[in-house]
A and B are shown apart, each in its own frame.
Chain A
């Protein structure tokens, strides 16, 4: 229960920060994607179901505020990203930062690429090289940079919750 309350606040705060503070800190018009970090982290820290739920909520928030006319578009993308990250729960160890970084990079890349294909390519914007150079790659780099600071926070929060809930020091599984 406590875990869910914290989860709610993590999503909530990430969304608000992403739409306000990080937009003013944007470098060259590019801001990091906090919601992907949250979705992916919860996916591989807990399990598929958790990842899906978090992804769905994050995506739905984006749909309500910044969806391109249809409700459920971003929710669907985030849902699958969350689920895919959940599949890596088996090989996740919380002391290892390489896997989270790799997974978040991959998630952000997939997200950006799907966005490009569905929202731009289908409308006849073909200069894929340009979009890679000026949107996708900068966003990934910035997101990874933020991950290095944000991910330990998420981990720390959840480790504490786990301590309270179960009295041991592992997240989601016994090492």
Chain B
């Protein structure tokens, strides 16, 4: 009788090169699926929203709390002094305010007169807080703390401080990713308010460091556009609502083709310090319909 040799069963494992191959295939097919089809990974988004977003919210709130406390300590002395000055200012402002209210009344009348109806200021907006920023250094998208549960949807416009911030490009139940107009992969069709010339506002990482956005394809045959002109979103854009302020022209250059001009725009929004934004609860498509 030969002794029965009981071999220890080897633990099943895949060789690493096959694992690499399998995972590569998974990645490539995922890319293909998401690129060529309209499939949007809503289940993955939902899952991520429930696991990650609450923590991001918490941590950024704690971070904000700490930075506020630090600022408070440093500024206490300044604040006391400021308080005096501000009280003086309140008195001045009250006087000014009454005057302005009169002006506003007049302005409203004039608006009605000229039918410069505030067509787009009447939209419902919802406030949201920025809770996280893009983890890489190449793009400057950010995450806000509202999502489909709050009635948001992809392509809704996001504004802050009276200027255009960007639009929602990805969404989960309690978060939404906003692509800023200064982002390198963002293009917005804009219009110079004074002369109604159409131009293309193109985000660029190179210009972002200087705090400006680039524009191009401005056909300005009458040489009307000047430095400091207001640039708003145009009415031919299919994602952005018309007449939202983008910024002010800060540089104009003639292109080599002598037909179009390009240059830079100083944005109306301080993109470095965005903390709260407003989301317009209507997309351009809904309005057109």
Contacts and interface: CB of A to CB of B under 8 A. Distances in A.
A76 B56 contact: no
Contacts of A139: 137
Contacts of A70: 30-31, 34-35
Contacts of B205: 120, 125, 131, 135
A127 B204 CA distance: 12
Interface residues of A, number: 52
Contacts of A69: 34-35, 169
Given A65-B177, A83-B16, A21 B31 contact: no
A44 to B, nearest CB: 14
Interface in A1-60: 12, 15-21, 23-24, 28-31, 33, 35, 47-49, 52, 56
Interface residues of B, number: 49
Contact of A65 (B27, B33, B135, B272): B135
Interface string B56-67: 100110010001
Contacts of B28: 72, 76
Interface string B126-146: 000001111111111101000
A20 B30 contact: no
Nearest to B143: A65
A17 to B, nearest CB: 7
B44 A64 contact: yes
A45 to B, nearest CB: 15
B30 A24 contact: no
A62 B31 contact: no
A69 B35 CA distance: 7
Given A17-B59, A52-B20, A72-B27, A127 B206 contact: yes
B57 to A, nearest CB: 9
B100 interface: no
Interface of A: 12, 15-21, 23-24, 28-31, 33, 35, 47-49, 52, 56, 61-62, 64-66, 68-73, 75-76, 79-80, 83, 86, 112, 115-116, 119-120, 123, 125, 127, 130-131, 134-135, 138-139
